[in-house]
Amino acid sequence: MQRLADRGLRLTQQRRCIVAQIGAQEAHFDAEDLVSSLAAGDDRVSRATVYRLLPVLVEVGVLREVMRFGSRREFEPVEASEHHEHLVCERCGAVIEFRDQALEDAIESAARKRGFEMHRHSVEMVGLCPRCARAQARAEEDRS
């Protein structure tokens, strides 16, 4: 909230509602999640307002835009967690968050090596989570 004020942005009722709702949200969420959970509550905030505020919160450093699964833009609170990467299971849709210092280092070094001033990055790994990999292996065994 304070960060909005610092930037000369107004602290409207709607913005308070949105920020409060973000606090109540799961780790990842997208604009439509917010719109519907605000609608479910007593807060009346229009879709346009939510869509307008999200990029502002990213710029102000409250949110971080994470990968896009499908076509929706996903967000997560910056302070809630350290930066992390995501494993996406093709079979069950699970999203596994993880942090890997060696990977971070490799990314930063790759950028530096090429004179690139990196502001953010994301790694998307798609495949089978441990559970589905096992299930798949069993299914193939049975077939043979």
Partner DNA sequence: TCCTAGCTGAGACTGTGTCTCAAATCTAGC
Partner DNA sequence: GCTAGATTTGAGACACAGTCTCAGCTAGGA
Q: Mapping DSSP to helix (H, G, I), strand (E, B) and coil, where does residue 9 land?
A: coil
- State yes or no: residue 119 binds a copy of itself (CB under 8 A): yes
Q: Which does 31 bind (CB under 5 to 8 A by kind): a copy of itself, DNA, none?
A: DNA
Q: If binding is defined by CB under 7 A, does position 1 make contact with DNA?
A: no
Instruction: Give the per-residue contact string, 58-97, with DNA (x = CB under 7 A; - = no).
Output: ------------xxxx------------------------
Instruction: Tell me how far apart the alpha carbons of residues 77 and 29 are, in angstroms, rounded to a whole number.
Output: 9
Backbone angles phi, psi at 33, to 5 degrees: -55, -50
Element (H, E) at 53: helix 47-60
At which residue do the structure tokens 């998307």 appear? 124
83 binds, among DNA, a copy of itself, none (CB under 5 to 8 A by kind): none
CB 53 within 8 A of CB 60: no
**Site for a copy of itself contains 125 (CB under 8 A):** yes
Is 18 exposed, middle or buried (CB count within 10 Å of its CB: 0-12, 13-18, 19+)? buried
Interacting residues toward DNA by CB under 7 A: 5, 9-15, 30-32, 44-49, 51-53, 55, 70-73
Interacting residues toward a copy of itself by CB under 8 A: 67-68, 71, 85, 87, 90, 96, 98, 100, 102-103, 105-107, 109-111, 113-130, 133, 136
